[in-house]
Amino acid sequence: MAKVGIMGAGSWGTALSLLLHKNGHEVTVWSINAEEVEMLSREREHKSKLPGVKIPEDMEFTTDLEKTVTDKDFVVLAVPSTFTRSTARNMCPFIKEGQLLVNVAKGIEESTLMTLSEQIEEEIPQANVAVLSGPSHAEEVGRMIPTSVVVGAKTKETAEYLQKMFMNEVFRVYTSPDILGIELGGSLKNVIALAAGMADGLGYGDNTKAALITRGIHEIARLGVKMGGALESFMGLTGIGDLIVTCASVHSRNRKAGYLMGQGKTMQEAMDEVKMVVEGVYSTKAAVALGKKYGVDLPIIEQVNAILFEGKNAKEAVYDLMMRKGKAEHNAKPWS
């Protein structure tokens, strides 16, 4: 049995707490929101985010950050990406040398273009930072629906330790040394999922969605490999796997926000209606900047950026994508 601290009592933090509790670990969950802590402690259900899923009585919820991270075998960071840096900064004084932290949020910092693990390492240099990612909607993990993810860590030993901690008959965990590839796949797929949602909102069909997913993973992999990620990560659970689930699932916040924008809502109206974090909105500008920095063409991501931040009409963006100059699908095989 391990002692685990979970930072964040949103959908994902709560679902992972339930999973780790099911595995026999002692779980303490922190939220910045005292009302949320009080509600979860009293009602033993996250009615707005994981309705119908019972929370065990011995799972502790608290606003006490020090208590949540002190003397823990590992600490899970499950706050939205825009709060990862500030949360890590607040945690730093209580984190001992070599403390294992597992980031499960998905995003890239707009101002620095840093991944979340890089930000955590900058704020808590003494920590040993790992990541967990893959196609894993909280609504399904909370209901113990079979799910597969990947843990990325600096050493095989750490990755296999975390694999053992999280894995059970409904949660299969693979290991990988490719932390960068895992994090890029997880954050960039949210931008493509916004586009897939917009296509749905415009009333387009399965053909459009399949094209966005397929050409979307090309974009993600082109950039990710140039940055140093492994192609296999983009072709695996943390790349194409997560992209498929986010573009297709009724649970996806990014797809839903995109859908609402495709139907004519503004970005802010869509985010307000979704109510939970829409990470793709924050990662889009960073993705465009990374494309420029690494000299990689990102046509779908650039169109999403134009819709979100330049007032471009979604239908016009699809037209512009369709009418780009004709090209070869790939250059893997030369003409004979």
Ligand X SMILES: O=C(CO)COP(=O)(O)O
Do 68 and 28 meet the contact criterion of CB atoms below 8 Å apart?
Answer: yes
**What, of ligand NDP, ligand X, none, does residue 119 touch, CB below 5 to 8 Å by kind?**
none
* SS3 assignment, position 323: coil
Length in residues, the chain: 336
In the complex, minimum distance from the CB of residue 189 to ligand NDP, in angstroms, rounded to a whole number: 10
Residue 252 touches which of ligand NDP, ligand X, none (Cβ within 5-8 Å per kind):
ligand X
Residue 277 or 288 having the CB closest to ligand NDP: 277
- Range list of H helices, the chain: 11-22, 34-43, 65-69, 84-91, 116-123, 138-141, 156-166, 179-201, 206-227, 231-234, 242-248, 253-262, 267-274, 279-294, 299-309, 314-322
* Shortest reach from residue 331's CB to ligand X, in Å: 31
Q: What does DSSP assign to residue 44? A: S
Distance of alpha carbon 81 from alpha carbon 143, whole angstroms = 24
3-state secondary structure of 203: coil
Cβ atoms within 10 A of the Cβ of 12, count?
26
Minimum CB distance to ligand X smaller for 68 or for 197? 197
The dihedral region occupied by 97, where left means phi > 0, alpha psi between -120 and 50, and beta the remainder, is: beta
254 annotated binding-site participant: yes
**C-beta of 68 vs 115, nearer to ligand X:** 115
Residue 335 is given by DSSP the state: -
Q: Pick the catalytic residue: 3, 154, 164, 189?
A: 189
Q: Is 136 annotated as a binding residue?
A: yes
Is 106 annotated to bind a ligand? Reply is yes
Nearer to ligand X, 193 or 198 (CB): 193
9 binds ligand NDP (CB under 6 A): yes
Figure out which of the listed residues 32, 170, 248, 289 binds ligand NDP, where binding follows CB under 6 A. 32
Q: Which does 242 bind (CB under 5 to 8 A by kind): ligand X, ligand NDP, none?
A: ligand X
Chain contacts with ligand NDP (rule: CB under 6 A): 8-13, 31-33, 36, 49, 78-81, 83, 87, 104-107, 136-138, 276-277, 279
Which residues are part of a known binding site for sn-glycerol 3-phosphate?
Answer: 106, 134, 136, 189, 242, 252-254
Active site residues: 189
